[in-house]
Structures are given as C-alpha cells and as structure tokens.
C-alpha cells in the first residue's frame, strides 16, 4: 500500500492570488537558485529568461473600481489527459523533455536538447525559454552560482524544474537518515520558500496530509486554461470571481 502511494506522488503548487502582492521575490529567488543568466540589456522581455514570471491583470474597470491581480506563472508541469502526456513532452523529437512517473515533474535534459523549440510551440503558458545568448554572469557573480544546478548553454530550451535539485537533496538527506519518505517541509522550491506573503504552497497533491491537497479542493481553486486538457499541477486560489474568470477562455 505504501509503495502504491509512493508511485502516485504528484508534486504541485497552490498559489493564493489574494495574498500575492506582485513583489517579484519569487522571480528573483528562482533566478538566483537556478543559475539563470541575464543579458546586459534586459529591456526586451521577449528573449529574457524568467522561469517564474509574474503577470499583472486588471478587472478592466475605470478608477475607482479598478482592481489588480498578480499571477505568478511557473511551469505548470502538466499531467496531460485522455492519453496525452504534457503538451511539450510528446512533441520533443529527441526525448530531451520527459515526465518523471514517480513525481510528475516535467524535466528538461539540457545536454540532449538541440534547440528545435517545438516544445515552446506546444506550451500555451509560455513557460519554456530558449537560450538566445551565451550565458554570462558579470564580474564576481560566477562565484555565487548554485553548484547543484548546471548552467545552460546557448541554443537550448530551459524551464522551471520545481527546483528538482532540492528534491534530490532532500532524498539524499532522508537516505542518510535511514528514511524512505521525505517530509513535506523538506522539499520546497525556492519561489515558495522566498515568498514574503506565504502565497505559494508546495507539496504532494495526492497526499491528504499535505497542505496543497486540501487547498486544491477549495471552491476558490482553479487552474489556467483548464479546458485545454493540459491538467496542470499548479493551482491558484482567489475569492474574486473576475480573477477566476480571467484564467480560462
């Protein structure tokens, strides 16, 4: 029974949009944690790499009735449906992107990707980024790189990995302590850890003991583009009807 449960671990996120202030800490934490390089001139956001991107939406009504909501958007780690895997997984011609059946995490093998960008075309969330430039870190910044995360080379696609290296670290720690399972608080991605408003909750969506399990069942929970059948593992919470309506077509 325990083994069967283990097989169906599905890591996911619940982001409370009513708590999110749009401060961008999640984006900064993600960039620092995952060795995301940056360009000398970052004004063109269309070729900048932001695994975690915060969108700003409004209710479209004039002042004083204007309301704003910020939507942090990591990779959705889509589960797929009706026999389809995640949209990006089945299209990759070189099997450079895959879904771990044990965790549900959609991975990217940078050294196997040859940069055809078909996965980017398949992803409706724009969660995949191409390295248009050689990765460069100015001055002494190379010393601050995370040794657990490999930097990516020019010409390959990359995306949010739910800080997969943190899962590896937690597993190693559990192994050394003679445990088979890792605790809920042992594996948390950098964005969730850094959020000052505690808007991001992370855990196993299939485990009734994890917070995300309860949160995703909230009547205010929704996912982006539900009707496409991508079956994302990132849920959002908002008590505002216009926010929930803005998430799907």
Partner 1 sequence: MDYALIPEGVKRCSFGKFVLWISAVSLLLLWGAAGALLCWIKGLNQTNMNDYFGFGIWITLDLAVIALGAGAFFTGFLRYIIGIDELKNIVNFAVIIGFICYSSALAILGLDVGQPLRGWFIFWHTNIHSMLAEVAFCITCYFCVLCIEYLPLLLENRQLKKIPSLNLFGHHLHRIVAVFAATGTFLSFFHQGSLGGMYGVLYARPFAFRDGFFIWPWTFFLFILSAIAAGPSFTILITWITQKITRKKLVKKNVIALLAKISGWLLLGYLFFKIADTIYWATVTAPARGFTFMDFYRNQPYGLWLFILEIGICGVIPAIILLTRRGRENNSWLILACFLNCTGVVINRFVFTVQTLALPVLPFDRFVTYFPSWQEWASSLAVIAYGIIVISLSYRYLPVFPQEKELNPA
Give the shortest CB-177-to-partner 1 separation in angstroms. 36
Tell me if 87 contacts partner 1 by CB under 8 A.
Answer: yes
One character per residue 146-185, x = contact with partner 1 (rule: CB under 8 A):
-------xxxxx----------------------------
H helical segments located in 47-122:
87-91, 118-122
One character per residue 102-141, x = contact with partner 1 (rule: CB under 8 A):
----------xxxxxxx-xxxxxxx-xxxxxxx-------
Query: Which window, 100-108, 197-205, 208-216, 240-248, contacts partner 1 (CB under 8 A)?
Result: 240-248
- Please choose, from the candidates 249, 201, 236, 234, the residue with its C-alpha nearest in 3D space to the C-alpha of residue 79: 234
60: left (phi over 0), alpha (psi -120 to 50) or beta: left
For 173, phi then psi, to 5°, come to -65, -45
CA distance linking residue 246 with residue 17, whole number of Å: 12
Give the shortest CB-40-to-partner 1 separation in angstroms. 12
183 within 8 A of 202, measured Cβ to Cβ? no
Of 36, 230, 236, 237, the one binding partner 1 by CB under 8 A: 230
Decide whether 27 or 96 has the Cβ nearer to partner 1. 96
Query: Which window, 39-47, 165-173, 181-189, 233-241, contacts partner 1 (CB under 8 A)?
Result: 39-47
Sheet containing 200-204: give its strands across. Answer: 200-204, 11-16, 234-237, 221-222
Decide whether 73 or 166 has the Cβ nearer to partner 1. 73
One character per residue 61-80, x = contact with partner 1 (rule: CB under 8 A):
----------x------x--
CA distance linking residue 172 with residue 180, whole number of Å: 10
Give the shortest CB-1-to-partner 1 separation in angstroms. 32
Tell me if 247 contacts partner 1 by CB under 8 A.
Answer: yes
Give the shortest CB-180-to-partner 1 separation in angstroms. 32
- Please choose, from the candidates 63, 62, 53, the residue with its C-alpha nearest in 3D space to the C-alpha of residue 20: 53
The structure tokens 């408003």 sit at 197
Query: How many residues contact partner 1, by CB under 8 A?
Result: 52
Decide whether 17 or 188 has the Cβ nearer to partner 1. 17
Give the shortest CB-191-to-partner 1 separation in angstroms. 19
Q: Pseudo-torsion of CA 103, 78, 202, 95, nearest 10°?
A: 50
How far, CA to CA in Å, does 201 sit from each of 27, 118, 216?
15, 31, 10
223 within 8 A of 202, measured Cβ to Cβ? no
**Residues that bind partner 1 in the complex, under the rule CB under 8 A:** 44, 46-47, 55, 57, 71, 78, 84, 87, 90-96, 112-118, 120-126, 128-134, 153-157, 224-225, 227-230, 246-249
């Amino acid at each position: 029974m325990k083994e069967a449960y283990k097989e169906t671990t599905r890591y996911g996120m619940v982001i409370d949009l009513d708590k999110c202030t749009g401060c961008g800490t999640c984006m900064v934490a993600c960039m620092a944690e995952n060795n995301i390089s940056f360009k000398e001139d970052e004004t063109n956001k269309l070729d900048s790499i932001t695994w975690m991107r915060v969108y700003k939406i409004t209710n479209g009504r004039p002042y004083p009735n204007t309301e704003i909501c910020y939507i942090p958007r990591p990779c959705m780690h889509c589960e797929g449906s009706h026999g389809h895997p995640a949209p990006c997984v089945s299209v990759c011609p070189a099997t450079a992107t895959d879904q771990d059946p044990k965790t549900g995490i959609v991975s990217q093998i940078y050294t196997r990707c040859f940069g055809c960008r078909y996965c980017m075309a398949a992803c409706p969330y724009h969660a995949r980024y191409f390295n248009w430039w050689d990765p460069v870190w100015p001055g002494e910044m190379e010393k601050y790189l995370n040794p657990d995360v490999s930097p990516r080379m020019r010409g390959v696609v990359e995306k949010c990995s739910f800080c997969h290296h943190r899962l590896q670290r937690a597993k190693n720690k559990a192994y050394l302590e003679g445990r088979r399972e890792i605790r809920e608080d042992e594996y948390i991605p950098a964005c969730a850890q850094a959020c000052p408003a505690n808007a991001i909750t992370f855990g196993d969506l299939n485990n009734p003991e994890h917070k995300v399990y309860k949160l995703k069942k909230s009547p205010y929970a929704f996912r982006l583009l539900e009707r496409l059948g991508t079956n994302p593992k990132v849920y959002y919470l908002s008590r505002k009807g216009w926010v929930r309506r803005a998430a799907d077509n």
